[in-house]
Amino acid sequence: MRKNVTLFVPCHSIPVSEILRYQLNLPIGDALTISLGGIAFIVALSVVLSVRSEDQQSQRDKLEAVERRAEESPDKPRAAWDLARVKLESYLDRNLSQVRSIFWLTVVVGASGVSDRN
């Protein structure tokens, strides 16, 4: 006979695998797999977000430099073309990023539906 043990004690640190094992009545192997998978997901997400923020910062810097050049020489069409090109590239990169995020969300939802045990 299994007992439901409440492990959510605010002053103690309890491993996620123990919470999963006792709260969801999972075997220790499944609980560890879920815990490690969650940790791997969080690490991968943080790496992707940091790389994305660095790319966005470089795009902003590039746009500011081109805007300064266009303001310094408003009579030259080349500067205006460069500004328009950089703005268009920035828009397309953002759009591609959104499409990529939607794709991966769809893959994760589809995989979780396929791996449902019930």
Contacts of residue 89, defined as CB under 8 A and 6 or more positions apart, other chains included, come to 59
Res 10 pLDDT > 90: no
Tell whether the model's pLDDT for residue 95 goes beyond 50: yes
Between 8-17, 33-42, 98-107, the lowest mean confidence (pLDDT) is in: 8-17
DSSP string, 40-76: HHHHHHHHHHHHHHHHHHHHHHHHHHHHHHHHH-TT-
Structure tokens at 21: 């094992």
- Rounded CA separation 35/29 (Å): 10
Contact 82, 70 (CB under 8 A): yes
Tens of pLDDT along 45-59? 888 888 888 888 888
